[in-house]
Amino acid sequence: LHNMYKIYSTDEVETVALNGVNLEIEQGDFVAIMGPSGCGKSTLLNIVGMLDNPSDGDYFFFDENIAKYNESQRSELRKQNIGFIFQSFNLIEELSVAENIELALLYHDMPSAERKKRVAKVMDRMGIAHRANHMPGQLSGGQQQRVAIARALAGEPRLLLADEPTGNLDSAMAGQVMELLEQIHSA
Ligand code: ADP
Ligand code: MG
């Protein structure tokens, strides 16, 4: 990121959420961004995750400057390259564990058999295969976050982003989720 700005404007106020941020992340890095509530972490992650555009500045993703990409260009690049994990899991309550993960792959051009194979593989890797047919509401917070991580990994992204992924978990569960993320990184 080069000299990145994000300014939120409403009728009343202008909020400078990112004030000239420079950041370089290399392939293989494991990075934590820390700071008090409201300092701009989610804003930064949403831009890095291609969910939002900066007000100014450049964003080079594998040498491609995407800061000025429009919505559809961004979303195309995002689905090929990025997995996102949220504090509140964001699973769909009406779908089973396996269906939640498979949903993430429906946006990829992939035959159904390959999709099922991928889903089985990530469930296995995240230790949730025995919960494939459960609904999210039947799982603990830690298990739900494992499902969300599996969903983020299913597309085999080059970049995995997590916005306060342990914020809704007790400290034991939080420790497990962080360990899992470290394992994924070193694998
Ligand atoms: P963090 O994730 O570090 O808590 P955020 O990135 O959510 O911080 O917010 C940074 C600042 O930008 C805050 O002052 C917040 O109120 C403001 N902000 C975030 N999103 C919006 C928005 N959609 N509209 C207006 N202001 C926003
Ligand atoms: Mg935040």
pLDDT at 68: 83
Residue pair 101/74 in contact by the 8 Å Cβ criterion: no
pLDDT at 107: 81
Identify the helix (H) or strand (E) that includes residue 55: none
3-state secondary structure of 88: coil
Q: Determine which residue's CA is closest to atom 13 belonging to ligand 1.
A: 38
pLDDT at 95: 97
pLDDT at 187: 85
In percent, the amount of the chain with pLDDT more than 90 equals 89
Report whether residue 87 contacts ligand 1, using a CB cutoff of 6 Å. Answer: no
Predicted structure pTM score: 0.92
CA of 177 to the centre of ligand 1 (A): 25
Report whether residue 167 contacts ligand 1, using a CB cutoff of 6 Å. Answer: no
- Segment 75-87 shows an average pLDDT of 93
Residue 82 φ/ψ, nearest 5 degrees: -130, 135
Report whether residue 38 contacts ligand 1, using a CB cutoff of 6 Å. Answer: yes
Rounded CA-CA distance 78/51 in Å is: 8
- Segment 169-182 shows an average pLDDT of 92
Return the higher-pLDDT residue of 67 and 125. 125
The answer, yes or no, to whether residue 108 has pLDDT greater than 90, is no
